[in-house]
Amino acid sequence: MINVDNQYIDKAIESLTNLLGIKEDFGCRSLFKVYHSDKIKEYIKEISNHLGLNISINLFYVPANYSSANTGAQQFSSQDLVKTDSNQRGVEGITAQVIIPSYLPMFGTSEMNNFPIDVKISDNVKKHPVTFTAIMAHEFSHVLLHSLRFEEKNNEVYTDLTAMVLGFNKIMSDGRVVKEEEQRFNSKIVRTTKYGYLRDAQSNFAYRKIDKILSKYIQIKNKLISKNDILMNRLLKIKKKIDKIEKYIKILDKCPNKKKKYINPKKIVAMHQIDYLDNIYKSISPDENILIKNKNILSSLKHYNSSCFSAVEKEIKLLEERNSIDLAYKYVEDNIKILKKNISIFKRLKLL
């Protein structure tokens, strides 16, 4: 395991989040049904997709003591990613290996789509799905950093942290420690195995740091969702009031007040124009489209960076400054007040 301090980890996380952003957790537990149904290729495809890699994966299981020969290709033999006991002593050989050709395409190019990548993993890991997921996320992070030509692409700590900031934070934390119990006669033996490149203290620090950053983004998103919902609910109330105006007009036409003149007759006449209500709908339609677009953006947003909220924040700010929704609300409310004055309470109660 590599001995680094918290300051090093902090700097690495800052560098990676500036480059890659940060993602919500990969929902591996909902996909374990796929894993346990032996659809491993589908499962690891989900892992690579979550890292933004649309690659074709060739997975090979090898014995725990596997040792590869030099193939001439650029490759990573994860010699530090080994089983260790509770005293940090290595007890097995290579756990995983990804073969990265020197001609690996750049990230985001069409050549990267379905680019074949070979991954070898020890067959003894299969019985631990969380650890398996963590190891695969690490190996695919190697591919990602190399496809980005990142300066720390050969750094195993950065590779672990890449997986963590891109949605595998909890998985990397949970999967790095495996405890197995064995009953021998009248005693129970608990065997602890650890995986990864960080010691416990640095792993815990990285987990908390990344979780704090992610929580901050989610908090901002939730506040924007709340603001957008308030405006949308206001707009829906306007629509309901427009429907009420239409019903009041029908009552007025069906049972005209012949005993006295209408209050504000010019307004009553204006309300009878064919396109009167349509024009109110048209006036709020642009705002409604903006709010629906905002909702779709925010509800699907799982990958965050420093500018991910800028468009939605700008739209909401403009709506608030323009105050068009509140003005429309006041306009329809004034219409309803006029109609109420011209319709008896008995007739209005029939609508309830």
The partner residues of 177 in beta bridges, in order of sequence, read: 194
What's the number of domains the chain is made of? Answer: 2
Per-residue pLDDT tens digits of the chain, which is 352 residues long: 556 899 999 999 999 999 999 999 987 666 666 666 667 888 889 899 999 999 999 988 887 666 554 443 333 344 334 444 444 444 444 477 888 998 999 999 999 999 999 988 887 777 788 888 888 999 999 999 999 999 999 898 999 999 999 999 999 988 887 655 555 555 554 455 666 778 888 999 999 999 999 999 999 999 999 999 999 999 999 999 999 999 989 888 887 666 667 888 899 999 999 899 999 999 999 999 999 999 999 999 999 999 999 999 999 999 999 999 999 999 999 999 999 888 888 777 766 5
The reply to whether 193 and 296 lie within a common domain is no
Question: Are 247 and 135 contained in the same domain?
Answer: no
| 175 and 319 assigned to the same domain | no
Domain that holds residue 341: 216-349
Q: Which residues contact 119 (CB under 8 A, 6 or more apart)?
A: 44, 57, 58, 59, 60, 96, 97, 98, 99, 136, 139
- Asked if 34 and 101 sit in the same domain, the reply is yes
Same domain flag for 182 and 269: no
Q: What's the pLDDT tens digit per position in 173-215?
A: 888 876 555 555 555 544 556 667 788 889 999 999 999 999 9
Is 209 inside any structural domain? no
User: What one-character-per-residue DSSP string does 250-288 give?
Assistant: HHHHHS---SSPPSSHHHHHHHTSTTHHHHHHHHHHHHH
Specify whether the backbone of 192 is left (phi greater than 0), alpha (psi in -120 to 50) or beta. Answer: beta
Do 257 and 164 lie in one domain? The reply is: no
Q: Based on the fold, state whether residues 87 and 181 are members of the same structural domain.
A: yes
Burial class of residue 37, CB neighbours in 10 A (0-12, 13-18, 19+): exposed
pTM of this prediction?
0.82
**Domain check: are 248 and 281 in the same one?**
yes
Looking at the fold, whether 139 and 226 belong to one and the same domain comes out as no
Give the DSSP H or E segment for 232. Answer: helix 200-254
Query: Under DSSP, is residue 318 helix (H, G, I), strand (E, B) or coil?
Result: helix
Beta bridge partners of 191: 180
